[in-house]
Amino acid sequence: NGPSLAVVGVTGAVGQEFLSVLSDRDFPYRSIKMLASKRSAGKHMTFQDRDYVVEELKVDSFEGVDIALFSAGGSISKEFGPIAVEKGTIVVDNSSAFRMVEGVPLVIPEVNPEAMEGVRLGTGKGALIANPNCSTIICLMAATPLHRSAKVIRMVVSTYQAASGAGAAAMEELELQTREVLEGKPPTCKIFGQQYAFNLFSHNAPVLSNGYNEEEMKLVKETRKIWNDSNVKVTATCIRVPVMRAHAESVNLQFENPLDEETAKDILKNAPGVVVIDDRAANHFPTPLEVSNKDDVAVGRIRRDVSQDGNYGLDIFVCGDQIRKGAALNAVQIAELLL
Position 133 contacts ligand 2RA (CB under 6 A): yes
- The C-alpha angle 179, 185, 186, rounded to 5 degrees, equals 105
DSSP conformational letter for 204: S
Q: Which is nearer to ligand 2RA, 151 or 294 (CB)?
A: 294
The H-assigned helical ranges of the chain are 13-24, 74-86, 134-150, 168-182, 214-226, 261-269, 288-291, 329-336
Contacts of ligand 2RA in 27-46 (CB under 6 A): none
What whole-number distance in Å separates Cα of residue 331 and Cα of residue 150?
A: 28
Position 166 contacts ligand 2RA (CB under 6 A): yes
Contacts of ligand 2RA in 224-283 (CB under 6 A): none
Write down the least CB distance from residue 322 to ligand 2RA, Å.
Answer: 6
Question: What number of CA atoms fall less than 13 Å from residue 199's CA on the CB side?
Answer: 16
Contacts of ligand 2RA in 186-215 (CB under 6 A): 215
Enumerate the active-site residues.
134, 247
Query: For residue 109, what are the contacts with CB-CB under 8 A and spacing of at least 6?
Result: 330, 333, 334, 336, 337
Write down the least CB distance from residue 165 to ligand 2RA, Å.
Answer: 2
Position 129 contacts ligand 2RA (CB under 6 A): no
Write down the least CB distance from residue 71 to ligand 2RA, Å.
Answer: 9
Beta bridge partners of 53: 44
Write down the least CB distance from residue 307 to ligand 2RA, Å.
Answer: 29
Q: How many residues bind ligand 2RA (CB under 6 A)?
A: 8
Position 126 contacts ligand 2RA (CB under 6 A): no
For residue 150, give Cα distances in angstroms to 109, 147, 223, 267.
21, 5, 16, 11
Write down the least CB distance from residue 123 to ligand 2RA, Å.
Answer: 31
Percent helix, strand and coil across the chain, each to the nearest 5:
30, 25, 45
Residue from the set 81, 132, 165, 273 that interacts with ligand 2RA by CB under 6 A: 165
Write down the least CB distance from residue 139 to ligand 2RA, Å.
Answer: 11
Residue-by-residue DSSP string for 142-186: HHHHHHHHH-EEEEEEEEEE-GGGG-HHHHHHHHHHHHHHHTTPP
Residue from the set 7, 19, 134, 139 that interacts with ligand 2RA by CB under 6 A: 134
Position 135 contacts ligand 2RA (CB under 6 A): yes
Position 112 contacts ligand 2RA (CB under 6 A): no
Q: Which of 147, 328, 115, 324 shows the shortest CA–CA distance to 232?
A: 147
- Which residue's CB comes closest to ligand 2RA? 165
Q: Which is nearer to ligand 2RA, 104 or 119 (CB)?
A: 104
What whole-number distance in Å separates Cα of residue 8 and Cα of residue 37?
A: 9
Binding site for ligand 2RA (CB under 6 A): 133-135, 161, 165-166, 215, 322
